Structure 1
Amino acid sequence: MRNSVPKHILFLCLSVFSLLIYTFPTFAKTESIQLPVPGQGVKKALLASLIGDDKYPAIVFMHGGAIRDKGVSTSSLNSRLSNFASLGFIVLAPVRDTKKGCCNGDEAIMEGIATANQSSEYLASLPNVDKSRICLVGFSEGALISMWVMSEPNNFSSAVIMSPSNQCGMKRAGSKNYCGAKLIESGKVQKVTKNVIVTLGDEDRKPHQKTANGFSKLLGTKTEIMKGNHKSFLKPRKDISAVVLEHCLK
C-alpha cells in the first residue's frame, strides 16, 4: 500500500505554491489631480494607483468634515490611501472645500454627493479600473454623504459607511434637509439594493449610534461594532481593512 500525504499537509503545500505563483499588485504612488465636478467647480483629489496591466477594483474615499471645515492637511489622507492601495485597490480621495461656517450642512452634503458621483465616473474612465467593482467608503460626514449617494441612482457596486455623522443640530455643519434623520425618514434607505455595510465604534456618541443603527435597520443588516471612538476611524485599522476586503470585492 502506497504512503499517502495527509490532507492538511497537501492543502498547506498547495496554498504556499499558490502564493508563490500569484503576482500581487504593486502600489505605485499617490498623486494630486484636478477633478472637475459639474456645478461645484474643480476639486483637488488624491489618486493612489497600482502598477500592472490588470483591471483592479477601486475605492472612492469620502473624508470627514474636519478636513473640509478645519483645513486639516490632506497629507492625513495619504496613510488611508496607501492602506487601501496595499489591499489591491486603486483609490481616489476627492477633497471637499465647502467654506467653514454654521449650518452649512446642506451645501456641504450636496457638494459631497456631486463629488462622489463624479469620482466614480473618473475612476471608470481609467483603463486599469474594473468598472463593475467601484466601492464607496466614507467616514463621519463623508459616511453620511455616502449613504445619501447609495440611496439614489449611482454607479457604485457597494459601500462601507464608517461611523456616520448625524448633523441635524443647527450648529457647525448642521443640515436642515440632508441630516441623518431626514435620510432615515425619506424612505430611500430601505430601497437600496446594493451591498452596504455600516460600522460603528463601541465608544461612539449617541448621535452616531442612532444614525448608524437607523441605517442598518432600514438596510436589513446588522451594524458592525468595533472597538474605539469616532476618532479611532481616522487612521487605517486592520478590522476596517478586513471589512473593505469582504464587502468592496462583492
Structure 2
Amino acid sequence: MPPFTLLPGVPSDLDEMVHIWVTAMDQDPFWKTWMGTMTQCQIEQWTKENLGYRIVTGVELGVMQTWKVVDESNGNIVAWTGLSFPWPETLTDDERASLTSSWSPPEGGNWLIRNWYVENVAPMVGNGGYDRSKHFLRQGSMVLPSYQRLGLMTLLTKKCNTIADEYGASTYVNARPKATSMFLKEGFEVCSVRDAELGEFNETRRGKGELENGETRFCALKREIGAVPKKRKVDWE
C-alpha cells in the first residue's frame, strides 16, 4: 500500500475532486438513474458547477473546508471530503445564497429523481435537528474505486470528528448504505431512513437499487460530541 498524506483541500483542487466524484459515483445506482442520458462531458461539467460552492466558494468564505488524501507515490488526490462549519451570523444573504445548489440537471438528466431527492433526501438532516448555525455537516465523501477498502474514508472521518469535537458541536450527514456502515462505526447514529424504487423514476431501472429488495436507500445520521468508534454491523451489509 502506498504512503498517504492527509491535507486540507484548496479551491484549485476542484477539477481533481470533480473527477473523483464522477468516477466513484458511476458505480452508484441512484446517481446513474439521475444522470439519465447525459453525456460524460455533460456530467463532468454539471458536477463541477454544483460542487463549486463546497470546494471553492465555501472555502473562500471560511465556512467550509475540504480534506484530501494524496497518494505520495504519484502526487494524486485519491479521496476527499467536505465539511461545513457552523455558519456565522455575519454571512450576507448573497453569501448564503452562493453556498447552495439546485442540482437541476441539463437536458438528458432525470428530473423525477432530482425532485424526489430535493423533496425527500435534502431535508433529512434538518428534520433530524441539524441547524447550520450550530452544527457541522459533511459535504460529500468520495474515494477513487481503485483505492477503496483501504480505510481512507475512515481517515477523513476521524479528522472531521476531531475538528467537531474541538469546536464542541455535533455533526450531521446524509449517506448511502456503504458509507452509512462506516459512519456508524465512527460514532454516528441513524436519525432517519428514506427508501425508493428506482423504477418510479425510470422503468428500465426497476429493481436495480443496492438493497436486497432492489430498492435504493439514504440515511440521515448524527454524531454527538465525543462519540467514540464502535464495532457494529448493519442489516444491509
* Fold shared per TM-score above 0.5: no
Return the structure number with greater relative CO, CA threshold 8 A, min gap 6.
Answer: 2
TM-score, normalising length from structure 2? 0.34
TM-score, normalising length from structure 1? 0.32
